[in-house]
Structure 1
Amino acid sequence: MGNPQWSERIRQVLRDLKLTQADLAERLGVSPATVSRWTQGKHEPTAETYIALGNLAQRPDGIYFWERAGMGAAGLSDASLHSIMSSLRVSLRDFKLVASRRTSKQLSDKGNAVAIPLLNVTAFGDRIAPKENVSLSEVEVEDILLAPLSWCPHPEKMISMHVAGDSMYPLIASGSIIFVDTAVTDREVLDQKLTVVAHRDMGFKVARFQRLAGSDLMVSANHKCLPLDVSNASKWKIYGEVLWWVARDVEP
């Protein structure tokens, strides 16, 4: 009996992109042994991994992987971004786009799209971290959002998550969804940029990362919230750079 179709598709990605199993493992943040089990049909990828594979693969394999993750992607390759966005389960009519300087391209432009997993996890914007935190090993993909390829420097490394709390208000309101490039983790590169850090006990924190006098600080937009020292790299891991976010429009 041959390998399942999803295994053969992963093999095709390796051939199309001229990658070794170790190369693919590095791109997706898994072990080479895991990729080996995929190609042998012994262990199927998770939904989040299928999304990342879909972002890497050429059509029609990319659409196949997105559909394996539970995303309805029929007609994706020929549709405009406007049509793509309107097909999302999360209707953009209920959101206003708060764009960073990187996201100047209009939604009506034509181009490729990146499927970004919305993780069932929340970055805290409170002055005090939440008592309970979801471990990354337990995180589930809550939904799948799409964005223009030009907005994503590292498509296979993009994730999105919720924000709760008022420490980033009015820049980022509580209840927003932030989009994070997890490929950007160098502290020098992230100086003065919006960043998500992960504490081994307290979970995810979002703020503006600043390096001052030998200390690394997370500086909130809300002046009532004091800076948080995240210099201890053994406790505070850089999770990625916030590229843009969406927030529900508040009724007056």
Structure 2
Amino acid sequence: MSRRLREIRQELFGDHGGPELARRLNLPARTWYNYETGVTVPAEVLLSFIQLTGTSPTYLVSGEGARYLGAGEDRQTADLSPVELIRRGLEKLERERAAQSASPVGESKSASGRECHEFQSVPVFPPEELMRPTLDPKRAEGRVLAYPQWFPHPAETIAVRVADDSMAPILAEGSVVAIDRSETDPEALQGKLVAARSEEKLVIRWLDLSGRHLILRPNQPGRDHPLAAVELDELPADFLIGRVVWSWSRFGEA
């Protein structure tokens, strides 16, 4: 998806049009460029992008079909809200995948085919539970479903609900983020969105390395959400919980 976002931005706004697109989406330019390099894109941003550019949700999600809303079936969706557009795009993608995975009579599906179309169930834990040394599966407060291919290491992926607005507008308060616990090397997480145990609470922040310091940066630093710096030599072994690899947000009409 990040490649398609970049291609559409270049086509509509030019090679140096990232800042202008970011301005129209009410985002910092750096945040948009992070999306183009693979950082998780929140649902609200995708909806705004679709509304602004006229991109087909099916193309954006799967890379298939027409790039922009236009002729045929897409014309019938011209008056739909962005929420309904992306919902229909996802539904269409799922129907197409199901049709492609159907086997002729008498033939069984391959194991890889089944795996491609099954959902991964990710447990959602309260933030305070991630502060414990070990996770008790019985303490999960719910589950979310997603495609396994969205997660590099499904068995090591858990989810938690964002407790504040420190990462808005990228992650609204109440969003659910998936965390890959297999990725905890600060050097490999430079510039990535991470979950960490900071000042006895769970935080979701950008990770920056500066000299011998690890910096946890909220999306909009301020009095309520200041930068946090930790010396790498003094970094606790369990300081980093993992990398944020996906997010779910409540759909809402503007």
Q: Would you say the 8 A contact 1:98–1:244 is kept in 2? A: no
Match of 2:227 in 1: 227
Q: Would you say the 8 A contact 2:123–2:143 is kept in 1? A: yes
Match of 2:153 in 1: 154
Matches within 5 A, 1:34-45: none
CA pair 166-97 structure 1, distance change in 2 beyond 3 A: closer
1:17-43 Cα shifts (integer Å, max 9, x gaps): xxxxxxxxxxxxxxxxxxxxxxxxxxx
Identity of counterpart residues, as a percentage? 23
| Unmatched 5+ stretches in structure 1 | 1-94, 124-132
Match of 2:208 in 1: 210
Q: Would you say the 8 A contact 1:160–1:180 is kept in 2? A: yes
| Unmatched 5+ stretches in structure 2 | 1-41, 47-59, 63-89, 99-116
Match of 1:190 in 2: 189
Count of aligned pairs between the two proteins: 145
Bigger fraction of residues in helix: 2
CA pair 157-235 structure 1, distance change in 2 beyond 3 A: closer
Q: Give the alignment's TM-score, normalised by structure 1.
A: 0.50
Does residue 1:248 correspond to 2:247, yes or no?
no
SS in 2 for 1:156: helix
CA pair 97-158 structure 1, distance change in 2 beyond 3 A: farther
Runs of 4+ displaced beyond 6 Å: none
Q: CA deviation at 1:222?
A: 1.3
Separation in 1, partners of 2:134, 2:142: 17
Separation in 2, partners of 1:172, 1:122: 19
Separation in 2, partners of 1:167, 1:235: 25
Bigger fraction of residues in strand: 1
Q: Would you say the 8 A contact 1:219–1:227 is kept in 2? A: yes
Larger CA Rg, structure 1 vs 2:
2
Separation in 2, partners of 1:219, 1:104: 29
Does residue 1:173 correspond to 2:172, yes or no?
yes
C-alpha RMSD over aligned residues: 2.9
Match of 1:82 in 2: none
Counterpart amino acid of residue 222 in structure 1: Q
